Structures are given as structure tokens and as C-alpha cells.
Amino acid sequence: MTRSTRSALTLTLALVLVLPGTLGVTPTTAQVTKQPTAVGTGGAVASVELLASEAGIEILRAGGNAVDAAVAAAAVLGVTEPFSCGIGGGGFMVVYRASDQSVTTIDHRETAPAAMRPDSFWEGGAPLSFSDARWSGLSAGVPGSVRGWEEALDRFGTMKFRDTLRPAIRVAREGFEVDQVFHDQVAAVEDFFDDISSTKETFLDPDGTAPDVGSTFRNPDMARAYERIAHLGSKGLYRGAIASAMVRAAQEPPLTPDANHVWRPGDMTMRDLMGYRAPLREPAAVSYRGLDVYGMGPPSSGGSTAGEALNILEGWDLGALPREQALHYFLEASAFSFADRNAYLGDSDFVDVPLQGLLSQGFADERRALIGETAAAKPVPPGDPWPFEPGSGSVATAAAAGPGGETTTHLTVSDRWGNVVSYTYTIESTGGNGITVPGWGFLLNNELTDFDFALLDHPNSVEGGKRPRSSMSPTIVLENGRPVLAVGSPGGSMIITTVLQILANHLDFGMSLPDSIAAPRASQRNSADVFAEPAFRSAWEAPLAARGHTFTTSAEIGAATGIAFLPEGLVVAAAEPVRRGGGSAMVENPD
């Protein structure tokens, strides 16, 4: 299928999904309806939540660019999706700048406090369980969101914090209606939330239960935190009152008298906060079907793993194959790429990561040669990318998958000038580490459980100042220097397979972006079973089982958003129609 044919198909199918007259209306003129797909011109925003998308559109219509709008939308998500993301966490932002057709990534992943050691999560000669490690001050990394936002605004934006945080301050003060997702996320962690006095006061009803669906939730402490940052910039978080409160909360979790769990103290200090930086890094890039695919490099494993899998898949014309055969290759390419991810990926500021080797076509050709017409026994061993890497090295001796965060958020933004942002950020698990910073209304992350803390000598082992490996995969695809697609998703290590499957759906199978996102998903991460949604199993389990694949059901995989760029300036913004309650897509000038 040619690029022009794909574009025409995308436009045709996307237009069918849009209900005319319901999108792009500001709250001051009419009631806005949440829609998962929007088509039009000018800028676009796709996120998991209506108020966040509205904030992005509000900034775009006020003259802001894609970076300004991304920060505004992300800040609102920190209020309305506080169990997935926020200023107590961090993320990765991929920025395309139209003026010079460049792609830059901003790494604001959390860092381990300087006092952390490889055995910091060990007691009595053995590693803590994930739960014991998570629900503690130990799991809190130095947050990066605010420093990352400031870096993005200073280098690529046109507005200041005081402008971009205004919508979030308004939502935090005035409140928003609790939906089923918000209620369910709190209900799932009530037993831990009620251990921490500040978390109990902020996020639970007076009777100690999750806020009721349909009730109004307000967070005036969060509004105060944003107001301080709006006035002082990142210093408002990393120095002074908020910083002091974060350190105290991590070092001495504020327990209720009847707390029924052990909460271990953490190592975060004021010096850790004051020293945090959000570096710009080169993107991880590969060529696929004549397109340039840009993702996030280390400490994220997203760009390298998805990129390696695409290089493997490049050897087959997936769109011309029977679908079950193409899906078999997709699953196997993912498994082999995950074997290499688990062996080699870590923070490249601390360990040698053979990124060029992992992303080389020669290494992918070697891995593809191992893939047959039936599923290989899992787990498959890692390959050796070092011969394809400048310099020298050796095969890693231990491979570790790591637990990976389940709850994250992704938003995708573009503007009228052609700039694009693909942004994934998180506090790791649902509710982070469960500790709300007293007086400031936001949860700390548990990102340090993304280290392979059971291994004392691995590329992703714990070390002070190090950033844990991530699976976040914000992605931008270009053709001849211009955007074709931007996409990303939450979902822990299944983020990588979600983004990879959406790319295959859209670029190989000719699906529109909305259909690519809505399609049933499967995830093979070099494990015995393929994790798959029920609809995928219903459609494809029988022919894939005949090839040796076995399956385990996963209720939902990911909650993606994206933007497709069509001829004549048209854009299609797309979010989930059902997963995680359905997302919100808006365009500046709807058709």
C-alpha cells in the first residue's frame, strides 16, 4: 500500500468516526462532548481525559505552540489523573520542531537519591517483595516532571509557567466530576492510602472510601503547588517549602495511628532535589518502510526495543501476508527484541548500552534469521549486538524483565506551525508509592521499583543518581522530514508492544489511526505466554496456537493516543474509544 493510499484511507475512515458539530467548542460557548476522534486543521490534542485536551486546545487558540499546550494538558492530567502521573513523577518528551525539521528528546526520568546502593531494597540477605519495596519512602525517585516542563518551555515553548499552569490551577480549585476510572483506581489501593494521613485526607472520603462516581473532587493543595511553580518556576518545587515537605514525607512517611502496613523510610534529600537535571538526549531512530521513526533512547528501552523489532519486521512485507502469519512475525520479533532489552538496557550515563548495535539492521538480520514459522521456546536468549557497536563489549550474562509500571499517561499534541509533541509521563504504579506530600496535594512516585533490584550487578541495578530503565515509548514518525504520525501509550512494559502494534496496524495493514488504536491487542515480551485482550484471542488464538503460541488474557492493554498528519493540512487526533474509560481528541479547527 502506498503512502498516499494510506493517507486517503486514514482520512476516509476517520471522518466516518467523527460526529459533526460536537468538537472544538470552548467551554465558554457550549458544552464540549468527549470524543475519541477529531479531524480538522490547525493544532490538535489527544489525551486520556477531556479537561486535559481542552486545556491544550485553550493554549493553542491563545497562540501557544505544541510544547506550551503539552505542558498545560500534562498539568491538568496531574490533577484529574493523579494516580497515573503528576509533579511527583517524571517522563519522556519527544519534540519535533518544524522550523528545522529536528527531533529532540527531553529526559526527565526520576533519579535514585545519591545514598541508594545496589542492595538498598534488600533486607536479611534477600530482596524485598515488590509490594514491600513499593509502599515505602525507598521507592520514591527524585521527581523530574517540573524540571522537564521548564526545559521544554525554555527551549521550545513560547509561554511561561504562569500561562501554561493556569488551566490546571483552575481545575484543581474548582474541581471536576469523579468518573468510574478515578473511583476504581482509588478503591484498588484504599488499604494502603488510609495508612498515610496526607493521602487519606486528600484522596479518600471522610468514611475512608474512594470518592463516589459523580461527586466533585477538588484539590486546593495541588492548586497551591501549581501557583508556587507558576510564580517561581522549577525552583518552586526543587527548593523551599515543597522540597522540604517531599524530603520529610519520603524519609518519614506520615502514618496514621492505625496504619496496618510497614512503611520503610527513604533516602531522598534536599541536595538530591536541588541537583536534579533534565537533559536533552539524541532520539533512538530507525528507518522503516522508507519512514523515519524517532523514539526515546536510554534510560528508556522504548525506542531501542520497538526500533529493533521494526528492523526485524522490515524483512517481511507484512501487509501482503496472511494476517495470522504477519501477527506471528510481530509476536516473535517482539519476543526477540525484549530478550535484548532485558539483557542490555539501563541508564547509559552509568552503563555501556550498545544502542547503535541494537538498532543496526545487521543485528536485526541476525535475529530475524532465528525466527521460523512456529513460535520459538520462550524465553529466547539475548543476541550479541556488540559486533555492530563501535568499540567493544560482550553479551550480558543475566537478563531481567523488571516489573514495569502499570499506570501512566500519554498525550500527543501538534500546532498550526507543524510542531509536534509526543509525551509519556508517570508516577509508576497506580497511586505511586502512596505517599501524598503533606500540604501540597500530590503523590510521590515509586519509580525506583523499575530497577532490577533483585540483581546486584545488572545494567539496570540500583545506584545513586541513576535513572531506572523505563518502557515509555513516545514516538514520532517522519516522511521526508515532515510528520506522518505521533503516538504513545501507558501500560508498563506493554507500552512497547502497544506502540509497535499500532505502527504495524497503521503502516503495514493500512488501518486508519483510530482503527489502529481501537484494534484488539496482544503483547509478547519474551515470556511463555502471549498476553492478549479477549477480542484478540477470539479472532486469532486458534491460528496462532497452531504455530505454537500460548495465551493468557489481559483485560486491557494500553490507553494510547496519537495524531496522524494527512495531505492538505488535515490532522486526525485519536484516543481510545473504550480502554480506560475512553479518551479525548480535539482539533483547533474541526471539520
Residues carrying an active site annotation = 408
- Angle between the 166-174 and 50-61 helix axes, to the nearest 10 degrees? 140
Which residue has cell 515537605? 245
DSSP 8-class letter at 282? P
CA proximity to 396, closest of 353, 456, 348:
353
412: β partners: 46, 422
The answer to whether 23 touches 14, Cβ cutoff 8 Å, is: no
CA proximity to 488, closest of 101, 189, 39, 47:
47
Which residue has cell 490534542? 45
Instruction: Answer positive or negative: Cα dihedral of 17, 34, 421, 66.
Output: positive
Other Cβ atoms within 10 Å of 546 Cβ, number: 11
Q: Is 486 helix (H, G, I), strand (E, B) or coil?
A: strand
Spatial separation of the C-alpha atoms in residues 466 and 14, rounded to whole Å: 43
The answer to whether 68 touches 153, Cβ cutoff 8 Å, is: yes
Other Cβ atoms within 10 Å of 376 Cβ, number: 15
Distances (CA, A) of 198 to 90, 438, 575, 585: 21, 5, 33, 34
The answer to whether 558 touches 491, Cβ cutoff 8 Å, is: yes
- Give CA 323 to chain center in angstroms: 28
